[in-house]
A and B are shown apart, each in its own frame.
Chain A
Amino acid sequence: MTNSIDTTSFGLIMLLLVLAMVHSAFQLGISVLTLMSTHVLGRGKKAVRIRPMIATYVAVSILLTFCIMLIVIFGEILLLPPRSQATVWLILALITFAVGSIVMLRYHKPGKGTRLWIAGPIVRYFINRAERARSPLQSAKLASTAIITELPLTLVIFASSALVIIELLPADYYLTAIILYSLVVMLPLSIIATMIASGHKVSTIQRWRESNKYFIQYIAAFGLYGAGLYILVFLIGFGG
């Protein structure tokens, strides 16, 4: 690579931003929050009682994203062999393309609603637990299950983002970077949670999600393709 340090840093920052935005486009956490809110409000609870549950849901989502990122970063620092970065980037780029293709073709199910291509038993688990959620603890369990269920798709994003942070920043700034990353990733969830807690109808939110589901899906897929391409061309140096 013959790029200057500044250009490389700028490119890495943009890559991190794209990865965070793609990560934030994944919808399972938002779907589960919407479903849980529908059931809690449907029991005639006043909005003020739903707020602790929603706040806990968002807080646990942010915390778990932070913890996973922390584990991935330190896993990469401890486990990656020295001078193996090009190989690791190549593997990550290929997996990113694969995940992008999965998201492009098989993220939202066709037809009405915002159903995702998740195994039936898991969907039934979420529906049953959301229906029975009555306390912040139960909403916390739902939030953590949603994050973990999406890990097969989001793990490559975690890994790529972690590697970018390791390359870009000195160790003193890792924690700040992880906190900012977690907040950016959970921004859409936080916005939706705030809207529900402040009195917006879940039907309005769900209608918006339904009419924009394919847009979000394709943006996420193209984001992943773009990230994979950037890694191949600028970080590994194919074609350069």
Chain B
Amino acid sequence: MKAYVVKNGTHDSELFDPLKLHVSILSACMAVRAFEGEAHATAEQVCKHVIDWLTDKTEVTTHDIRRVTTEHLSAYHLDAAYIYDQQNMIV
């Protein structure tokens, strides 16, 4: 899987990093006070879904990643999905 992620503001692109996604999902889960084990398990499952979605893609935007991640995360943890989606819309 070699999908490139184009950043929304700068239009720079970088190779998709599953670890970065895992950390951001983990952070969203911890922010809503989920248990650490639950947060890690949730992050792992959601990452798998996103990686599956990326299989046939060569280039996506950060907005796409956020949208798909939020969609899958909401099936596991609604509050974490909300915070993950809202992170850049609080200020």
A residues contacting B by CB (< 8 A) are 28, 31-32, 34-35, 37-39, 41-44, 47, 111-116, 118, 123, 126-127, 130, 199, 201-204, 206-207, 210
Q: A35-B91, A113-B89, A204-B79 are in contact. List 13 more A-B contacts (CB 8 A).
A: A31-B91, A35-B87, A38-B90, A47-B33, A113-B88, A115-B90, A115-B91, A127-B91, A130-B91, A199-B33, A203-B79, A203-B83, A207-B82
* B21 at the A interface (CB under 8 A): no
Contact B79 A112 (CB under 8 A): no
Contact B91 A126 (CB under 8 A): yes
Which residues from B are CB-within-8-Å of A201? 32-33, 79
Picked from A35, A42, A203, the residue with its CB within 8 Å of the CB of B30 is: A42
Contact A123 B91 (CB under 8 A): yes
Contact A113 B90 (CB under 8 A): yes
Question: Could you tell me which residues of chain B, from 43 to 63, have a CB within 8 Å of some CB in chain A?
Answer: none
Contact B91 A202 (CB under 8 A): no
Contact B31 A127 (CB under 8 A): no
Picked from A28, A42, A43, A203, the residue with its CB within 8 Å of the CB of B82 is: A203
* B27 at the A interface (CB under 8 A): yes
Contact A31 B27 (CB under 8 A): no
Instruction: For the complex of A and B, list the 5 residue pairs with the smallest distance between their C-beta atoms, beginning with the closest.
Output: A113-B89, A42-B27, A203-B79, A42-B31, A35-B90
Picked from B31, B36, B88, B89, the residue with its CB within 8 Å of the CB of A202 is: B31
Chain B 10-53, CB-CB to A under 8 Å as 1, else 0, gives 00000000000000001110111100100000000000000000
Which residues from B are CB-within-8-Å of A34? 90
Picked from B27, B80, B91, the residue with its CB within 8 Å of the CB of A43 is: B27
A174 to B77, CA, bound (A): 51
A31 to B90, CA, bound (A): 6
* B8 at the A interface (CB under 8 A): no
Question: Could you tell me which residues of chain B, from 61 to 91, have a CB within 8 Å of some CB in chain A?
Answer: 79-80, 82-83, 85-91
Which residues from B are CB-within-8-Å of A43? 27, 30
A111 to B83, CA, bound (A): 16
A34 to chain B, nearest CB (A): 6
Closest B-chain residue to A115, C-beta based? B89
Contact A202 B30 (CB under 8 A): no
Which residues from A are CB-within-8-Å of B31? 37-39, 41-42, 202-203
